[in-house]
Amino acid sequence: MAKKAKKQQQAGGTPATVALTSAGVDHTIHAYDHDPSHPSYGEEAAEAMGVSPDRVFKTLVADVDGTLTVAVVPVAGSLDLKALAAAVGGKRAAMADPTLAERTTGYVRGGISPLGQRKKLPTVVDDSATAHGTICVSAGRRGLEVELSPEDLARLTGATLAPIARA
């Protein structure tokens, strides 16, 4: 890791924010006080930021035919596992073991970001993201979101855009 990136992490940055800054991507960081008793990390983020839940996306890790795969879907909906499998040319998908997801991405549940993961995983972003100029995703810890264009998110993660969410 470059010295600049290490300094940013030590100054409160996360691997996700370091990746964005290093890539020179236009983004906005939104911090809020996380309430551990809130039933949904994504809905909490939308409420705290005053942003429509259609623009706030959650990062989920699934196992598609033995390969961990990242799915980014609106917090207002849920992940369609069959659609995710089809989007990456797989047959069967199931939610990944949470401990394995944390260990592989380097983030904790509720704070998994599609950006700056420890290991680069295949990523699919729900195509509804393109209906918005900007969307919000986890910036790498609970209570921290990053707002950026869906195109920049897809480019930085190497994501495929596909209809993988259910309302």
User: For residue range 11-47, what is the model confidence (pLDDT) as tens digits?
Assistant: 458 999 999 999 999 999 999 988 888 888 888 898 8
22/163 Cα distance (integer angstroms):
30
Token pair listed for 49: 């930021």
> Tokens 């949904």, residue?
40
Per-residue DSSP letter, 69: E
Residue of 123, 121, 145 lying closest to 33 (CA atoms): 145
As a three-state string, the secondary structure of 87-113 is HCCCCCEEECCHHHHHHHHCCCCCCCC
Please check the confidence at residue 2 and state whether its pLDDT lies above 80: no
Over pLDDT 90: what percentage of the chain? Answer: 80
Position 9 confidence tier, pLDDT thresholds 50, 70, 90: very low
Per-residue DSSP letter, 42: H
Please check the confidence at residue 3 and state whether its pLDDT lies above 50: no
Please report the beta strands in 35-159, taking only residues with DSSP state E, as ranges in sequence order: 57-64, 67-74, 78-79, 93-95, 123-126, 135-141, 144-148
Position 149 confidence tier, pLDDT thresholds 50, 70, 90: very high
Measured from the Cβ of residue 117, the count of other Cβ atoms closer than 10 Å reads 23
Q: Are the CB atoms for 61 and 68 separated by under 8 Å?
A: yes
Q: What is this structure's pTM?
A: 0.90
114/30 Cα distance (integer angstroms):
16
Q: Are the CB atoms for 140 and 108 separated by under 8 Å?
A: no
What is the predicted pLDDT for the residue at 166? 94
